[in-house]
Structure 1
Amino acid sequence: MIVSLARFRVDLLLLLVAVSWGSTYLVAKELVSAGTVLALLALRMLLAAGVMAAIAGVRRKRLTRSELFAGIPIGVLLAAVFAFETFGIAHTSATNAGLIISLTMVFTPVLESVASRRRLPGTFFAAATVAVTGVVLLAGNGTFDPPSAGDLLVLGAAVVRAAHVVSMHKLTGGKAMDSLHLTTVQLGTCALLFTTGSFVYGDSVPHYLSQLDPRQGVMFLYLVLICTVFAFFVQIWAVRRTSPSRVSLLLGTEPVWAALIGITIAHDSIGIAGYCGIALVLTGTAWGRLIEQRHRRATQPESDPPRSKPTSAITEKENATP
């Protein structure tokens, strides 16, 4: 009974993270315009990195050189993800953004297979085709118009997010690194890049902050504290109490919540073709994730190091590092 309650608590918190991420697209759309993207991201990352750094400081655990050197390039990729995604949200619907970004689950195994020179089964590419077809239907919504600039930007974010995941695995895999330190360095790198960028493009951070009304201020704090800080902490905490596959499965419900929130709260206009696209995206990404997980388990024994060689304690956790 105690084990079941503990597992339920972990699952519930991970599900709350997925819901918060699903709501991010609507919240960001309410807070951003093309000219305020960098100011919003700079302010969001400055606050989030500050909170994470303060908590890391309380622990009094020293940041290592390897964590710094790995976290900075990964942080640059993370900044690119946020930039593509947020510029895209300014030019498309919350529903489209939330579903298109889910293609990360298709792109990541493809990039990983290229990096590791390991072939994926043919059925995976069938699942990828289903998901991409769904995106085309969703973006065109039955009109067969080309995707909007916002849709393409979010699609670019999905590709870069996949590169971020693969790069993180390459740079940190098998190395004893602290997840909290890595997250803080990544967010700090993002904060530095976006703050610098806000000086040369769009609104400045002080001007953007002065334009927020009380309602937008609450939404912004939600974006920082719940969708960023809380989400990262839950991932770090949960991966030590459940399996990476279970974490991936629960967080993989993000596009479902994005679609529900976009349709019911934002009242995004979705025609029959759009709903068919949603179904295909969700089916294709879920099918692709299942195929990839089965393929990984089937080939794992061949790639495992010999038992006589020591392995880092972080090896079993590396796939879930945020």
Structure 2
Amino acid sequence: MAAALAGVQVGAAIVATRFVIDQTGPASLGMMRYLIGALFLLPFVLASRNLRFARRDLVPIALLGIVQFGVTIVCLNFGLRYVPSARAALILATFPLLVMLLAALWGRERMTGTKSFGVTLTVLGVAVALGERALTAETTPSEWIGAVAVFLAALFGAGCSVLYRPYLRRYSTLPIGFFAMTASVMFLAASAWFEGMFTRPLHITATGWVAVGFIGISSGVGYFLWLWALNHTTPTRVTVFLGLSPVTAAILGAVLLGETVTPATLGGLGFILIGLWLTQRPATLPDDLTTEPPTLAEIRHEDGTRRPPMPPPT
């Protein structure tokens, strides 16, 4: 359920981003998005009183946050300037496949025929639902640049989804999300400076600010749900629910922008639901081949044996 809600949140954020992106820069919007998201999470983090990490993990978690929230969102926001929402959604639909391939390549997850077929059906469902709208418009060179940017966003996000899991097993979900998001805000603030966010007046309408606020708050909630889901199941099973995001974008586009929901959209949703069901079926063997690579402290035990990682400071 948490992964499904996160998938819906991504679709809603795409629609809101598409609405407001022409009023600000990609990095500026990203900074506002995650600054609001971090401030929204701050009271819950303070209430938990659990924001301490081992020193060796500070830099990796911060770098993952910068890539996940900073680089990824700049690529996505930049791409949405040139790529129609439907086409961007089709590109983002490769996210589960990228996660599955990277997780298998890095030895974090076992590939099964059923899981592969389920992910493929999910991507096929998105293609059926949005393909007739996404593939009819003539593609311009700028749209190709935007398409590459959106694909890079999917690739970076997929890599982070796989690499987060060892840290999610050491620490609570909420502190990791807050720390990673805060690290990305500092990175995005530097990028926003070059866009002139701090040197020129902002030209965002009242409705645009509502969209920015929605994007920020929903990102804080959605990312907490995302990390919680990653901590309770495999990366592929979580990210496959992103297949719900483009369908959500299509439905919201129909409600808010007067776009038509076609039979292809409903048919694609059927493929997505079947694919989600297949990926959630329990396997006879565990999905994870490895839990996490050994740390330097583990390797250096005198007897040469691996030991469980040291618990984080309390």
Give the structure-1-normalised TM-score.
Answer: 0.70
Q: Describe the SS at the equivalent of 2:155.
A: helix
Any residues of structure 2 matched to 1:243-322 within 5 Å, and which?
244=233, 252-267=243-258, 275=264, 283=271, 297-300=283-286, 303=289
| Number of residue-to-residue matches in the alignment | 287
The whole-number CA distance in structure 2 between the counterparts of 1:221 and 1:205 is 19
* Shift, 1:222, TM fit: 1.0
Change (3 A) 1:191 1:32: same
The whole-number CA distance in structure 1 between the counterparts of 2:248 and 2:288 is 37
Alignment match of 1:214 (pick from 196, 206, 210): 206
The whole-number CA distance in structure 1 between the counterparts of 2:288 and 2:157 is 28
**Counterpart residue number, 1:232:** 223
2:92 paired with 1:112: no
Change (3 A) 1:293 1:111: farther
**Counterpart residue number, 1:168:** 164
Q: Describe the SS at the equivalent of 1:204.
A: coil
Alignment match of 1:203 (pick from 179, 192, 196): 196
Any residues of structure 2 matched to 1:47-58 within 5 Å, and which?
47-58=36-47
Deviations 1:131-177 (A, max 9, x none): 479399558624685863323321221121111111212x426x421
Deviations 1:217-248 (A, max 9, x none): 111111111x21222344567789xx648866
**Counterpart residue number, 2:174:** 180
Deviates more, 1:133-142 or 1:155-164: 133-142
Q: Describe the SS at the equivalent of 2:285.
A: helix
**Counterpart residue number, 1:68:** 58
Deviates more, 1:180-189 or 1:227-236: 227-236
The whole-number CA distance in structure 2 between the counterparts of 1:198 and 1:247 is 31
2:31 paired with 1:31: no
* Shift, 1:111, TM fit: 0.9
Task: Give the partner amino acid of 1:150.
Answer: G
* Shift, 1:268, TM fit: 5.8
Alignment match of 2:152 (pick from 153, 156, 164): 156
Task: Give the partner amino acid of 2:16.
Answer: V
The answer on whether the counterparts of 1:100 and 1:154 sit within 8 Å (CA) in structure 2 is yes
Q: Describe the SS at the equivalent of 2:94.
A: helix
Task: Give the partner amino acid of 2:211.
Answer: M
Alignment match of 1:95 (pick from 80, 86, 91): 86
Task: Give the partner amino acid of 1:212.
Answer: I
The whole-number CA distance in structure 1 between the counterparts of 2:239 and 2:79 is 25
Alignment match of 2:31 (pick from 42, 49, 52): 42
Pick the structure with more helix per residue: 1
The whole-number CA distance in structure 1 between the counterparts of 2:219 and 2:109 is 33
- Aligned-pair Cα RMSD in Å: 4.2
Task: Give the partner amino acid of 2:18.
Answer: K
The whole-number CA distance in structure 2 between the counterparts of 1:302 and 1:52 is 30
The whole-number CA distance in structure 1 between the counterparts of 2:59 and 2:190 is 20
* Shift, 1:26, TM fit: 1.4
The whole-number CA distance in structure 1 between the counterparts of 2:192 and 2:53 is 30
* Shift, 1:179, TM fit: 1.2
Task: Give the partner amino acid of 1:159.
Answer: L
Give the structure-2-normalised TM-score.
Answer: 0.71
Task: Give the partner amino acid of 1:37.
Answer: P
Deviations 1:173-213 (A, max 9, x none): 6x42121111112111210111111222x2314646x3222
The whole-number CA distance in structure 2 between the counterparts of 1:280 and 1:301 is 27
Q: Describe the SS at the equivalent of 2:82.
A: coil
The whole-number CA distance in structure 1 between the counterparts of 2:240 and 2:21 is 30
Alignment match of 1:82 (pick from 48, 61, 73): 73
Listed as ranges, the gaps of 5+ residues in structure 2 are 292-305
* Shift, 1:75, TM fit: 0.9
The whole-number CA distance in structure 2 between the counterparts of 1:153 and 1:281 is 26
Deviates more, 1:144-153 or 1:243-252: 243-252
Change (3 A) 1:59 1:96: same
The whole-number CA distance in structure 1 between the counterparts of 2:270 and 2:98 is 14
Q: Describe the SS at the equivalent of 1:148.
A: helix
Change (3 A) 1:264 1:59: closer
